[in-house]
């Protein structure tokens, strides 16, 4: 598969590599969701660097003895200059194994050592983490080596940086996220509006994006994927949920409740257990854990007036949001050989789903464009609502969050296929804006539109699909993208 995108991630790794080339060793913890492309990114970096290297991937469920033997076998087949030193050796423990690895890394030229699926190594043997700390401190840190520790289990990878753990303070952390919308546009060859749709559908997961035939419209990709029950679009959602959230768990039920459209704490509690509302003491820690994993996001209304009792929840991962909304139904139809019916089902709910799904993407995109000359104090973008959702404002830009000192603008998102933002939309927004604490009749209004503005519109700042996509393009020195 051709490697695409990831310019920012490659640049971050290159910066660390430059420091290694100029001095002592560096250790980097590389984390991120499963199937997000961490291993592929690191392999691409290693290939481009063309330095002496070892890339080792652990195997889940192996015995420590077998894993240590496999690591030394990988060392003997690597491009590290001292690889012949380990031929025929059988280590007794992880300290000895890693010490042998360190002996194979050069003292005079920079090298790269990659240990993939580190959580499995830590689960297999209690002595791995302590051995890693010992060998790093005594042997590797003084060498020009870049040590990359990769893992998907967020809690275990985070524990490496716990102040009570052996490896604390010895590594920086790099999180690898899915492909950006600009990466998706480049990979799929789509116009900006279609690229945003593609990003909402695929979530930027490389495996799904790679299955997108170049320049194929969104409807064509969906039809093609639904005709194949084993397509990455359908399979990846199942694998994610089964791997991280087994069917019978409460976490899975909470995810499904939020994915079906429930946004408030009380509504989620009722949806999870319709016979008896789920207790707050049970639901709260589940939601907090899902937020820590970046699976669920919670938001408060943004204005100059605090409102901590009006929290809302949403699925943070765009692909999981798509799959929870449509996946169970369309995959059953696809498996029955009814792709046309599955496509019709998806299209019936597409507009309303996309209208809601695009909102967090728009807010995140605008934050990357702000502050600017027109809105010099705008640092954060959120939304505003009251308990009755009347009105509900799509966009609030402010200097602080969640309680602002100054509201910079109030905006509306109209992501309609064939209708521009018109005078009716403008006056609805201007009237609703008066309800927002901190807003005045002079507060600027902003429109974010999939189409253009109607020709008879009053003056209003607006952003379109190209602005939002370009917000995610890498910026180089000098400000050019």
Distance CA 243, CA 103 (A): 37
- The per-residue pLDDT of the chain, averaged, comes to 92
Beta-bridge partner residues of 398: 380, 407
pLDDT in tens, 302-327: 999 999 999 999 999 888 999 999 99
Answer yes or no: are the C-beta atoms of 348 and 354 closer than 8 Å.
no
Distance CA 256, CA 278 (A): 14
DSSP 375-430: -TT--EEEEEE-TT-SSEEEEEEESSSSB-S-EEEEEEEE--SS--B-HHHHHHHH
Kind and range of the H or E run holding 292? helix 280-292
Distance CA 314, CA 296 (A): 6
β-pairing, 407-414 vs 392-398, is antiparallel
Confidence band for 1, pLDDT divided at 50, 70 and 90: low
Q: Can you give the pLDDT at residue 293?
A: 81
Q: Using N-to-C axis directions, what is the helix angle for 265-272 and 280-292, rounded to 10°? A: 110
- For tokens 């938001």, name the residue: 299
Give the predicted TM-score (pTM) of the model: 0.88
Answer yes or no: are the C-beta atoms of 115 and 150 closer than 8 Å.
yes
DSSP 11-76: HHHHHHHHHHHTSS-EEEEEE--TTSSHHHHHHHHHHHHT-SEEEEE--TT--HHHHHHHHHHHHH
Confidence band for 90, pLDDT divided at 50, 70 and 90: confident
SS3 for 334? helix
Give, as one character, the DSSP assignment of residue 85.
G
Q: Can you give the pLDDT at residue 276?
A: 78
pLDDT in tens, 332-345: 999 999 999 999 99
Q: Can you give the pLDDT at residue 480?
A: 42
Nearest Cα to Cα of residue 423 among 393, 383, 391, 460: 460
Query: For the chain, what is the radius of gyration of the CA atoms?
Result: 25
Q: Which two tokens stand for residue 292?
A: 């820590």
Q: Can you give the pLDDT at residue 21?
A: 85
Q: Can you give the pLDDT at residue 476?
A: 53
Q: Which two tokens stand for residue 349?
A: 């709910």
Q: Which two tokens stand for residue 436?
A: 């927002």
| Fold classified for 181-356 | Arc Repressor Mutant, subunit A (1.10.10)
Nearest Cα to Cα of residue 384 among 461, 322, 443: 443
pLDDT in tens, 131-145: 999 999 999 999 999
Name the CATH architecture for the domain at 7-175: 3-Layer(aba) Sandwich (3.40)
Hey, how many other C-beta atoms are within 10 angstroms of the C-beta on 395?
Answer: 24
User: In terms of residues, how long is the chain?
Assistant: 481
Phi-psi region of 204 (alpha: psi -120 to 50; beta: other; left: phi over 0): left
Q: Can you give the pLDDT at residue 479?
A: 43
Pairwise pLDDT comparison (295 vs 373), residue with the higher score: 373
Distance CA 102, CA 82 (A): 9
Nearest Cα to Cα of residue 366 among 268, 465, 432, 250: 465
84-98, 217-231, 415-429, 460-474: segment of lowest average pLDDT:
84-98
Confidence band for 172, pLDDT divided at 50, 70 and 90: very high
Beta-bridge partner residues of 447: 412, 462
Q: Using N-to-C axis directions, what is the helix angle for 280-292 and 250-259, rounded to 10°? A: 80
Nearest Cα to Cα of residue 47 among 58, 55, 38: 55
Q: Can you give the pLDDT at residue 92?
A: 86
Answer yes or no: are the C-beta atoms of 221 and 213 closer than 8 Å.
yes
Strands (DSSP E) found in 170-304? 172-175, 296-299
Q: Can you give the pLDDT at residue 246?
A: 67
SS3 for 352? helix
Mean pLDDT of 356-367: 97
Distance CA 290, CA 179 (A): 21
């Amino acid at each position: 598969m051709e490697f695409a995108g990831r310019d920012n991630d490659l640049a971050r790794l290159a910066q660390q590599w430059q420091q290694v080339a100029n001095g002592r060793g560096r250790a980097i913890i590389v984390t991120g969701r499963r199937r997000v492309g961490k291993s592929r990114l690191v392999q691409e970096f290693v290939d481009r660097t063309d330095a002496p290297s070892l890339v080792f991937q652990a195997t889940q469920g192996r015995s420590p003895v077998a894993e240590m033997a496999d690591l030394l076998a990988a060392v003997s087949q690597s491009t590290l200059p001292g690889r012949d030193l380990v031929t025929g050796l059988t280590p007794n423990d992880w300290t000895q194994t890693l010490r042998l690895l360190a002996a194979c890394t050069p003292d005079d030229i920079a090298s790269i050592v990659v240990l993939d699926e580190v959580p499995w190594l830590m689960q297999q043997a209690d002595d791995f983490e302590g051995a890693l700390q010992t060998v790093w401190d005594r042997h590797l840190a003084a060498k020009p080596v870049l040590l990359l520790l990769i893992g998907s289990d967020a809690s275990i990878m985070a524990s490496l940086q716990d102040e009570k753990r052996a490896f604390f303070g010895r590594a920086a952390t790099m999180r690898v996220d899915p492909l950006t919308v600009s990466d998706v546009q480049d990979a799929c060859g789509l116009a900006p509006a279609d690229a945003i749709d593609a990003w909402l559908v695929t979530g930027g997961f490389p495996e799904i994006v790679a299955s997108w035939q170049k320049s194929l419209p969104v409807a064509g990709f969906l039809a093609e994927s639904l005709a194949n029950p084993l397509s990455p679009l359908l399979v990846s959602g199942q694998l994610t949920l089964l791997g991280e959230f087994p069917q019978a768990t409460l976490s899975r039920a909470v995810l499904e409740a939020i994915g079906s459209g429930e946004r408030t704490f009380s509504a989620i509690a009722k949806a999870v257990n319709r016979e008896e509302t789920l207790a707050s003491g049970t639901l709260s820690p589940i939601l907090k854990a899902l937020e820590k994993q970046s699976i669920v996001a919670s938001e408060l209304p943004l204005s100059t007036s605090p409102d901590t009792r009006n929290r809302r929840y949403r699925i943070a991962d765009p692909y999981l949001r798509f799959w929870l909304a449509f996946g169970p139904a369309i995959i059953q139809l696809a498996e029955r050989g009814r792709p046309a019916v599955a496509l019709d089902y998806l299209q019936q709910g597409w507009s309303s789903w996309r209208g809601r799904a695009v909102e967090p993407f728009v807010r995140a995109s605008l934050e990357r464009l702000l502050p600017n000359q027109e809105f010099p104090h705008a640092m954060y973008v959120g939304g505003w609502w009251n308990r009755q959702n009347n009105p509900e404002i799509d966009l609030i830009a402010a200097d602080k969050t969640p309680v602002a000192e100054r509201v910079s603008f109030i905006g509306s998102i109209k992501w309609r296929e064939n209708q521009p933002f018109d005078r009716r939309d403008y006056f609805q927004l201007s009237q609703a804006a008066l309800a927002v604490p901190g807003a005045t009749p002079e507060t600027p209004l902003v429109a974010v539109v999939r189409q253009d503005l109607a020709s008879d519109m009053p003056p209003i700042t607006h952003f379109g699909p190209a602005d939002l996509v370009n917000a995610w393009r890498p910026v180089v020195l000098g400000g050019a993208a």
